Amino acid sequence: VAGSATSDFKNPSMLLLILLSGIGGFAMVVVVPLIPILADSLDVSYATAQLSLSVFFASFAVAQLVLGPFSDSYGRRTTLIIGMSLFALGSLACALSETAYVVIFGRGLQGIGAASGMAIARVIINDVHGREKSAKLIGYLTMAMVIGPMAAPTISGFVAEAFGWRWLFWMLFVVSSCLLVTIIMKLPETVQFSRDADGRRQGFFDGLPLFKNIEFIGLAGNWAFSACVYYAFLAGAAYVVIEQMGRSETEYGAYFIIVSLGYLTGNWIAARYSHVYASSRFIMAGTL
């Protein structure tokens, strides 16, 4: 596919794509050690404060269903500009919030922005490099993306204890704003490489026939239940460690690195050996 590019086309920066994926993973987990702090600071129940995590997941999930077809119609670059704008706006809302509901709303906007970065970065790689090379590059992209969630709880706990929880959202606002400027100035449009031979773009309902494919259902179900274990852990672990065990936010973040290291290692192995062994072997080994 890359060979069809015009001579003056410049491949998107891999570093930019990694950062777009990483900021979403970082934002997803950064609030986990903060939930008890948000509950106390904003005078709400733990369950209400936990919505800052749940709403992020919900908007993140729903947005991915829309962003792919939207980017086919209006461009990858446009989609990322809108996504990072919403992410920056959501971060600003959280930083300035005086109520838990503003934080929850801001987290919803962050979820949409995070979905745009994490989903469209992979689509751009597939546009430019084609299916064969994309598997390896996406493996490395995912591995790099895990660094964000791995570092997020540690950074979150330290910053919250030292400076206050609002500083984390100010930090995310600054970083997302810088990424937004970089997208506008540096990111080329790649949607022209994704069209079919007849020039047709993906429609919103084009993916529905996949639900009749038993192989797709098996793979999607495998990923869904694996992710469920991880997200259930995110939702409850902070409460158990911080509230019931009396540990600090920083200590919880340090322990969380162990979980992320396992995920990081699995992605590295997949990226390193996916071209040697069948993908089904990796999936079976990981499931076992």
- Determine contact, residues 142/123, Cβ cutoff 8 Å: no
Mean pLDDT of 202-227: 80
**Residue 70's pLDDT band (cuts 50, 70, 90):** confident
- Determine contact, residues 26/151, Cβ cutoff 8 Å: yes
- pLDDT tens for 141-159 read 776 667 777 777 778 878 8
pLDDT at 2 over 60: no
Query: Over the chain, what is the mean pLDDT?
Result: 81
d(CA 282, CA 48): 39
What b/e sequence results for 28-53 when a residue is b if at least 16 CB atoms lie within 10 Å of its CB, and e otherwise?
A: bbbbbbbbbbbbebbebeeebbbbbb
- Determine contact, residues 288/273, Cβ cutoff 8 Å: no
- For residue 109, what pLDDT is reported? 96
- As a dihedral over the C-alpha atoms of residue 262, residue 34, residue 169, residue 165, rounded to 10 degrees, the angle is -130
**Residue 168's pLDDT band (cuts 50, 70, 90):** very high
- pLDDT tens for 179-203 read 999 999 988 888 776 655 455 565 6
- For residue 3, what pLDDT is reported? 43
**Residue 4's pLDDT band (cuts 50, 70, 90):** very low
- pLDDT tens for 80-121 read 999 999 999 999 999 999 899 999 999 999 999 999 988 888
- pLDDT tens for 236-284 read 777 788 778 888 777 877 787 787 788 778 777 776 776 677 777 778 8
- pLDDT tens for 42-67 read 889 888 988 998 899 999 989 988 88
Which residue's structure tokens are 């429609």?
Answer: 203
- pLDDT tens for 131-141 read 666 666 776 67
- For residue 169, what pLDDT is reported? 94
Burial, 224: exposed, middle or buried (Cβ in 10 Å; 0-12, 13-18, 19+)? exposed
- For residue 203, what pLDDT is reported? 61
- For residue 135, what pLDDT is reported? 64
